[in-house]
Amino acid sequence: MAYDPVTKIYTPDYTPNPDAYIKKLTDQGLSKADAAASARYQKQADAYFAPTGPGANIDPTTGGQRTPTPTGPSQAELDAAAAAAAAAAKAAADKKAQDEKDLAAKRDSFAIIKSTLKTYGFTEAEIAELSAFIEAGLTNAKMGPEQLKLDMRELPIYKARFAGNTTRVSAGLNALSEANYLQQENDYSEIFKMYGVGNLSSRAQFSSLIGGNISVTEATKRVDAAVKRVKNANPAVLTTLRTLYPNITDTDIVSYFLKPTEMLPELERKTTVAEIGATATQFGMKETGLANLTRFEDLQKYGVTLASARAGYGNIAEELPGATKLGNVYRETGITYGQAEAEAEQFKDSAEAKRKKEKLIDTEKSSFKGSAGLNTGGLSTQYLRRSSSAGQF
C-alpha cells in the first residue's frame, strides 16, 4: 500500500520505485523539487503502513483498523475436518470389530476342522503336524476354511492317510470323500472281524482295497474264498509251509489272496518251496525242515515244481542209499555222494555230481576185476547192479 501525494489517494497495488515516481511527476510538469518532495512523502507513507511499521494495522483508505485476514482454516473447514476424522475413527473401529468377528469365526471353523481330523484315524504325531499347519493358516489373511482344506489335502501326511485315493486318481477313478473313505474302511473292518481275520484291518490293507476299487461285496467274496482255501489246503503242505516260514499265519495267506496282483506270486513261491520240502520228507530225505529252507528255495528257483519234485525224489530215494554206501566203502577216494549231490544231479543236471557218482561206480567195478571178472552178482550194492545193467549213470 502506498500514498500518492499527487492524486491524494492510496494505491494498494502500487510498488514503490522512487526514481520512476520522480520521472513520472516531472513528465506531468512538476518541478524536480516538487517531485522529490512527493517521493519523500511516498517513502514515509510506505514505511509507516509497512507490515512492520506503526501503521501496519491501520487501513489507509479509511483510517480505521484493518480487518484481520484469517491465516488458518475457516470454521466450515474445521467442522468438515472434524466430521471426516470422526467418520474415519468410526470406520476404523467398525473394521476392527469386523476383523475380530471374522477372526473368531475363522478360529471356530479351524477348530472344527482340527476336531474333525481326530476322527480320521490320524496318529498323535500326525495330528500335531496338521495342527501346526492349521495355526499357521489363522495368521494368513488369504487363507479361509475351504482353502485350508484344499491345501491340507495336498500335504504328504494327509495323502498318506488316504493313500487309496491317490491310487484311484492315478487309475482314472474319482477320489472318495473323507466320509466315504472312512465308511469303506469300517465296512472292510467288519468283514475281517466276521471271518476271524480282524488283524488284517490296517491303513495299508484298506488303501489297497480302496485303491483297487474293490467293493464291499467283492471284498466279502475274496475273504470268504481265501479263508476257505486256507482251511481246505493240503495239511502236509500247510504244515511244511509253517515249518519253513514260522512267521507266516493263516491271516497272511488270506491277505495274499486279497491282493492277488502284488502278493499271490509270493504266496505261490512259498507254497512251491513248502511242496518241495514236504515231498522230500515224504520220500524219506533226512535233510529237511527249517534248517534246509535255503536248499528248497534254491530248487524252486531252478524251476522245480510239485510234480518234478515227486519224480525227482522218487529216483533219489531209490539211488541215494546205494550211492551213499559206495561213498562210505570207498572213503579213501575222498568222494562223498549224499542228498545234496543227488539233488544237484537230479534237479540241476550237475555234471560234477554226476562225475562223483560215476567215479564211485568205476571204483566199485575195479575192485571186482580179477578172478571173478565183472560179474554183476558180485557188485556190492543193488543200486550198482541196477545201474551196471543199464550201462548209463
- pLDDT of the chain along its 393 residues, tens only? 555 555 555 555 445 566 666 676 677 776 766 666 676 666 776 777 677 777 677 766 666 777 666 677 888 888 899 999 999 999 999 988 888 887 788 888 888 888 888 899 998 899 999 989 888 888 887 888 889 889 999 999 999 999 999 999 999 999 999 999 999 999 999 999 988 888 888 999 899 999 999 999 988 988 887 777 677 777 877 788 788 888 777 777 777 666 655 566 777 788 889 889 999 999 999 888 888 899 999 999 999 998 999 999 999 999 888 888 877 777 777 788 889 999 999 999 999 988 888 888 888 787 766 435 545 444 455 444 444 333 333
179 near 116, Cβ under 8 Å? no
**Residues composing the chain:** 393
Give the DSSP H/E element, type plus range, for residue 2.
strand 2-4
Cβ(213)–Cβ(181) under 8 Å? no
pLDDT of residue 107: 82
Spatial distance between the Cα atoms of 348 and 306, rounded to a whole number of angstroms: 15
pLDDT tens for 295-325 read 999 999 999 998 999 999 999 999 888 888 8
In the numeric block, which cell numbers belong to residue 290?
527249517
Task: Indicate left, alpha or beta for 284 from its phi (over 0: left) and psi (-120 to 50: alpha).
Answer: left
H or E stretch including 10? strand 9-11
The pLDDT of residue 343 is: 92
DSSP 3: E
**By three-state DSSP, how is residue 373 classified?**
coil
- What angle do the packed helices 382-390 and 351-367 form, to 10 degrees? 100
Question: What is the pLDDT at residue 248?
Answer: 79
Compute the distance between CA of residue 337 and CA of residue 322 in angstroms, rounded to an integer. Answer: 10
